[in-house]
Protein backbone atom coordinates (compact mmCIF):
# COMPACT_ATOMS: atom_id res chain seq x y z
CA UNK A 1 0.00 0.00 0.00
CA UNK A 2 2.57 2.57 1.07
CA UNK A 3 4.90 1.63 -1.77
CA UNK A 4 2.18 2.63 -4.25
CA UNK A 5 1.35 5.81 -2.38
CA UNK A 6 5.03 6.89 -2.40
CA UNK A 7 5.87 5.65 -5.88
CA UNK A 8 6.37 9.20 -7.16
CA UNK A 9 8.44 10.42 -4.21
CA UNK A 10 11.49 12.51 -5.08
CA UNK A 11 13.92 13.97 -2.53
CA UNK A 12 13.87 17.47 -4.02
CA UNK A 13 11.68 19.90 -2.02
CA UNK A 14 9.68 20.84 -5.13
CA UNK A 15 8.62 17.23 -5.55
CA UNK A 16 7.86 16.52 -1.91
CA UNK A 17 4.16 17.18 -2.42
CA UNK A 18 4.02 14.22 -4.78
CA UNK A 19 4.98 11.79 -2.03
CA UNK A 20 1.37 11.02 -1.29
CA UNK A 21 -0.76 11.15 -4.39
CA UNK A 22 -3.93 10.27 -2.52
CA UNK A 23 -4.92 9.48 1.04
CA UNK A 24 -7.05 6.43 1.66
CA UNK A 25 -10.30 6.80 3.51
CA UNK A 26 -9.14 4.46 6.27
CA UNK A 27 -6.19 4.87 8.64
CA UNK A 28 -2.86 3.60 7.42
CA UNK A 29 -1.68 0.36 9.05
CA UNK A 30 0.87 0.76 11.83
CA UNK A 31 3.15 -1.78 10.12
CA UNK A 32 4.02 -1.48 6.42
CA UNK A 33 6.66 -4.04 5.44
CA UNK A 34 7.53 -3.07 1.87
CA UNK A 35 10.99 -4.67 2.23
CA UNK A 36 9.36 -8.05 2.93
CA UNK A 37 11.40 -8.75 6.06
CA UNK A 38 8.69 -10.48 8.08
CA UNK A 39 6.71 -13.68 7.89
CA UNK A 40 2.93 -13.51 8.37
CA UNK A 41 3.31 -14.80 11.93
CA UNK A 42 5.95 -12.18 12.70
CA UNK A 43 3.75 -9.46 11.25
CA UNK A 44 0.95 -10.45 13.62
CA UNK A 45 3.30 -10.39 16.63
CA UNK A 46 4.70 -6.96 15.74
CA UNK A 47 1.26 -5.48 15.05
CA UNK A 48 -0.02 -6.84 18.35
CA UNK A 49 2.73 -5.02 20.27
CA UNK A 50 2.31 -1.81 18.27
CA UNK A 51 -1.44 -1.78 18.88
CA UNK A 52 -0.92 -2.56 22.57
CA UNK A 53 1.31 0.46 23.08
CA UNK A 54 -0.84 2.70 20.88
CA UNK A 55 -3.97 1.92 22.86
CA UNK A 56 -2.21 2.22 26.21
CA UNK A 57 -0.90 5.72 25.50
CA UNK A 58 -3.29 7.02 22.81
CA UNK A 59 -0.50 7.67 20.31
CA UNK A 60 0.42 6.28 16.90
CA UNK A 61 3.57 4.12 16.85
CA UNK A 62 4.35 2.98 13.30
CA UNK A 63 6.97 0.90 11.49
CA UNK A 64 7.72 1.26 7.78
CA UNK A 65 10.34 -0.79 5.94
CA UNK A 66 11.55 0.15 2.46
CA UNK A 67 14.01 -1.52 0.10
CA UNK A 68 15.05 1.90 -1.17
CA UNK A 69 14.00 5.54 -0.91
CA UNK A 70 15.90 6.49 -4.09
CA UNK A 71 18.56 8.65 -2.46
CA UNK A 72 16.21 10.63 -0.23
CA UNK A 73 17.35 11.67 3.24
CA UNK A 74 15.87 9.11 5.69
CA UNK A 75 14.98 11.76 8.28
CA UNK A 76 13.12 13.94 5.80
CA UNK A 77 11.35 10.92 4.37
CA UNK A 78 10.26 9.82 7.85
CA UNK A 79 9.09 13.35 8.70
CA UNK A 80 6.97 13.33 5.56
CA UNK A 81 5.44 10.03 6.60
CA UNK A 82 4.36 11.68 9.85
CA UNK A 83 2.95 14.72 8.11
CA UNK A 84 1.00 12.86 5.43
CA UNK A 85 0.23 9.38 6.76
CA UNK A 86 0.77 8.89 10.48
CA UNK A 87 -0.87 11.96 11.96
CA UNK A 88 -3.96 10.62 13.72
CA UNK A 89 -2.59 9.94 17.22
CA UNK A 90 -4.48 12.01 19.78
CA UNK A 91 -1.37 12.48 21.93
CA UNK A 92 1.26 12.27 19.23
CA UNK A 93 2.80 10.19 16.48
CA UNK A 94 6.09 8.46 15.77
CA UNK A 95 7.39 6.27 12.99
CA UNK A 96 10.38 3.99 12.58
CA UNK A 97 11.70 3.97 9.01
CA UNK A 98 14.09 1.19 7.95
CA UNK A 99 15.81 1.30 4.54
CA UNK A 100 17.41 -2.03 3.71
CA UNK A 101 19.61 -1.19 0.72
CA UNK A 102 21.55 1.42 2.74
CA UNK A 103 21.03 -0.28 6.13
CA UNK A 104 19.67 2.94 7.59
CA UNK A 105 17.11 3.47 10.35
CA UNK A 106 15.37 6.61 11.51
CA UNK A 107 12.86 7.25 14.30
CA UNK A 108 10.82 10.42 13.74
CA UNK A 109 8.48 12.04 16.24
CA UNK A 110 5.95 14.78 15.64
CA UNK A 111 5.77 18.08 17.52
CA UNK A 112 3.82 16.59 20.43
CA UNK A 113 6.13 13.64 21.05
CA UNK A 114 9.18 15.82 20.49
CA UNK A 115 8.39 17.23 23.94
CA UNK A 116 8.08 13.73 25.42
CA UNK A 117 11.03 11.93 23.81
CA UNK A 118 13.74 14.54 24.07
CA UNK A 119 17.12 14.65 22.36
CA UNK A 120 19.37 11.82 21.28
CA UNK A 121 19.08 10.16 24.68
CA UNK A 122 15.38 9.47 24.22
CA UNK A 123 15.82 8.13 20.70
CA UNK A 124 18.80 5.98 21.71
CA UNK A 125 16.78 4.48 24.57
CA UNK A 126 14.67 2.88 21.86
CA UNK A 127 17.24 2.45 19.09
CA UNK A 128 20.19 0.79 20.82
CA UNK A 129 18.40 -2.41 21.89
CA UNK A 130 16.49 -2.36 18.60
CA UNK A 131 19.65 -2.17 16.46
CA UNK A 132 21.18 -5.02 18.48
CA UNK A 133 18.32 -7.18 17.18
CA UNK A 134 18.71 -5.85 13.63
CA UNK A 135 22.33 -7.02 13.61
CA UNK A 136 21.09 -10.53 14.39
CA UNK A 137 18.61 -10.24 11.48
CA UNK A 138 15.84 -10.57 14.05
CA UNK A 139 13.83 -7.68 12.68
CA UNK A 140 10.54 -8.71 14.27
CA UNK A 141 12.03 -8.59 17.74
CA UNK A 142 13.69 -5.29 16.86
CA UNK A 143 10.33 -3.71 16.04
CA UNK A 144 8.76 -5.19 19.17
CA UNK A 145 11.62 -3.81 21.27
CA UNK A 146 11.18 -0.38 19.66
CA UNK A 147 7.49 -0.38 20.56
CA UNK A 148 8.11 -1.55 24.12
CA UNK A 149 10.80 1.06 24.76
CA UNK A 150 8.57 3.76 23.29
CA UNK A 151 5.86 2.65 25.71
CA UNK A 152 8.27 2.90 28.65
CA UNK A 153 9.21 6.48 27.74
CA UNK A 154 5.56 7.44 27.33
CA UNK A 155 4.63 5.83 30.64
CA UNK A 156 7.45 7.68 32.41
CA UNK A 157 6.19 10.99 31.05
CA UNK A 158 2.62 10.22 32.09
CA UNK A 159 3.69 9.39 35.65
CA UNK A 160 6.39 12.01 36.21
CA UNK A 161 5.08 14.85 34.09
CA UNK A 162 8.47 15.36 32.45
CA UNK A 163 10.60 13.59 29.81
CA UNK A 164 12.92 10.79 30.81
CA UNK A 165 16.48 12.04 31.33
CA UNK A 166 19.34 9.61 32.10
CA UNK A 167 21.10 12.36 34.06
CA UNK A 168 18.10 13.35 36.14
CA UNK A 169 18.65 13.17 39.88
CA UNK A 170 22.45 13.28 39.66
CA UNK A 171 24.07 16.07 41.69
CA UNK A 172 27.34 16.46 39.81
CA UNK A 173 28.83 18.88 42.36
CA UNK A 174 28.16 16.44 45.20
CA UNK A 175 29.56 13.59 43.09
CA UNK A 176 32.84 15.47 42.48
CA UNK A 177 33.15 16.30 46.18
CA UNK A 178 32.53 12.68 47.14
CA UNK A 179 35.15 11.41 44.71
CA UNK A 180 37.66 13.95 46.01
CA UNK A 181 37.05 13.01 49.64
CA UNK A 182 37.32 9.32 48.81
CA UNK A 183 40.59 9.82 46.95
CA UNK A 184 42.10 11.86 49.79
CA UNK A 185 41.06 9.25 52.33
CA UNK A 186 42.58 6.43 50.27
CA UNK A 187 45.86 8.32 49.84
CA UNK A 188 46.06 9.08 53.57
CA UNK A 189 45.35 5.46 54.48
CA UNK A 190 48.07 4.25 52.10
CA UNK A 191 50.61 6.69 53.49
CA UNK A 192 49.78 5.62 57.05
CA UNK A 193 50.24 1.96 56.24
CA UNK A 194 53.58 2.58 54.52
CA UNK A 195 54.89 4.65 57.41
CA UNK A 196 53.99 1.87 59.81
CA UNK A 197 56.16 -0.71 58.02
CA UNK A 198 59.34 -0.86 60.14
CA UNK A 199 61.38 -2.86 57.64
CA UNK A 200 60.75 -0.59 54.65
CA UNK A 201 62.37 2.79 54.05
CA UNK A 202 62.70 4.94 50.99
CA UNK A 203 66.13 5.00 49.33
CA UNK A 204 67.48 8.29 48.03
CA UNK A 205 69.46 6.71 45.19
CA UNK A 206 68.88 3.63 43.10
CA UNK A 207 72.28 2.11 43.84
CA UNK A 208 71.33 1.97 47.50
CA UNK A 209 69.41 -1.19 46.64
CA UNK A 210 72.56 -2.97 45.41
CA UNK A 211 74.27 -5.51 47.63
CA UNK A 212 77.94 -4.56 47.56
CA UNK A 213 80.44 -7.12 46.20
CA UNK A 214 77.65 -9.50 45.25
CA UNK A 215 78.42 -9.16 41.54
CA UNK A 216 81.60 -8.50 39.59
CA UNK A 217 81.59 -7.94 35.84
CA UNK A 218 84.67 -9.45 34.24
CA UNK A 219 83.93 -9.04 30.54
CA UNK A 220 81.59 -6.89 28.43
CA UNK A 221 81.01 -7.01 24.69
CA UNK A 222 78.20 -5.61 22.50
CA UNK A 223 77.67 -7.12 19.04
CA UNK A 224 75.21 -5.36 16.73
CA UNK A 225 73.93 -7.46 13.85
CA UNK A 226 71.03 -5.83 12.03
CA UNK A 227 67.56 -4.41 12.43
CA UNK A 228 64.49 -5.61 10.56
CA UNK A 229 61.50 -3.29 10.77
CA UNK A 230 58.12 -4.35 9.47
CA UNK A 231 54.94 -2.29 9.63
CA UNK A 232 51.37 -3.55 9.55
CA UNK A 233 48.53 -1.06 9.00
CA UNK A 234 46.15 -0.91 11.91
CA UNK A 235 42.88 -2.56 10.99
CA UNK A 236 39.81 -0.42 10.92
CA UNK A 237 36.44 -1.56 12.16
CA UNK A 238 33.92 -1.97 9.38
CA UNK A 239 31.14 -0.76 11.62
CA UNK A 240 32.43 1.47 14.37
CA UNK A 241 30.68 2.80 17.41
CA UNK A 242 28.15 4.79 15.38
CA UNK A 243 26.26 1.71 14.13
CA UNK A 244 25.39 0.45 17.60
CA UNK A 245 22.11 2.33 17.64
CA UNK A 246 23.61 5.73 18.40
CA UNK A 247 22.10 8.74 16.67
CA UNK A 248 24.48 9.92 13.95
CA UNK A 249 22.09 11.97 11.79
CA UNK A 250 19.00 14.04 12.41
CA UNK A 251 16.39 15.95 10.42
CA UNK A 252 14.71 17.43 13.49
CA UNK A 253 13.08 20.83 13.09
CA UNK A 254 10.42 22.92 14.81
CA UNK A 255 7.71 20.38 14.00
CA UNK A 256 9.66 17.13 14.21
CA UNK A 257 12.02 15.39 16.59
CA UNK A 258 14.02 12.23 16.17
CA UNK A 259 17.26 10.82 14.87
CA UNK A 260 18.73 7.91 13.02
CA UNK A 261 21.83 6.01 12.02
CA UNK A 262 23.07 2.75 10.54
CA UNK A 263 22.94 -0.89 11.53
pLDDT at 25 (0 to 100): 40
CB of 106 closer than 8 Å to CB of 260: yes
pLDDT at 178 (0 to 100): 57
| CA separation for the pair 113, 101 (Å, rounded) | 29
Q: Is there a domain that residue 9 lies in? A: yes
pLDDT at 180 (0 to 100): 64
pTM of the complete model: 0.67
Vertex 43 angle, CA 40 and 49, to 5°: 150
Does 147 lie in the same domain as 27?
Answer: yes
pLDDT at 68 (0 to 100): 97
CB of 62 closer than 8 Å to CB of 31: yes
pLDDT at 67 (0 to 100): 97
Taking the C-alpha atoms of 63, 65, 68 and 69 in order, what is their torsion angle to the nearest 10 degrees? -20
Domain count, the chain: 2
pLDDT at 13 (0 to 100): 33
Q: Is there a domain that residue 8 lies in? A: yes
Give the structural domain span for 176: 172-203
| CA separation for the pair 34, 42 (Å, rounded) | 14
pLDDT at 48 (0 to 100): 97
Q: What is the CATH number of the domain that holds 152?
A: 3.10.310.50
pLDDT at 27 (0 to 100): 79
Q: Is there a domain that residue 236 lies in? A: no
| Alpha helices, DSSP H, located in 85-138 | 111-114, 119-134
pLDDT means per 10 residues, the chain with 263 residues, are 45 35 61 97 97 97 97 96 95 97 97 93 96 96 97 95 74 54 72 66 70 74 79 60 85 95 95
| CA separation for the pair 117, 136 (Å, rounded) | 26
CB of 100 closer than 8 Å to CB of 65: yes
CB of 94 closer than 8 Å to CB of 113: yes
pLDDT at 84 (0 to 100): 95
Does 255 lie in the same domain as 181?
Answer: no
Does 162 lie in the same domain as 247?
Answer: yes
Does 26 lie in the same domain as 97?
Answer: yes
**Shortest CA distance to 96 belongs to which of 145, 48, 44, 58?**
145
| CA separation for the pair 140, 145 (Å, rounded) | 9
pLDDT at 243 (0 to 100): 85
Does 46 lie in the same domain as 117?
Answer: yes
Amino acid sequence: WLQQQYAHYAPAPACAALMLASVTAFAAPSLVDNAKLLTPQQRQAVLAELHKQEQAHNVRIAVVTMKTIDGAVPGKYANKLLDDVYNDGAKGNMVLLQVTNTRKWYIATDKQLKQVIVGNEGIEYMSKPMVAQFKKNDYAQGYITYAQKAGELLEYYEKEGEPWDPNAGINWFALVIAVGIGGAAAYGCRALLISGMSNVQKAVKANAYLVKKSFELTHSNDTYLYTNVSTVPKSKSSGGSRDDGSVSESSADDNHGGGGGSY
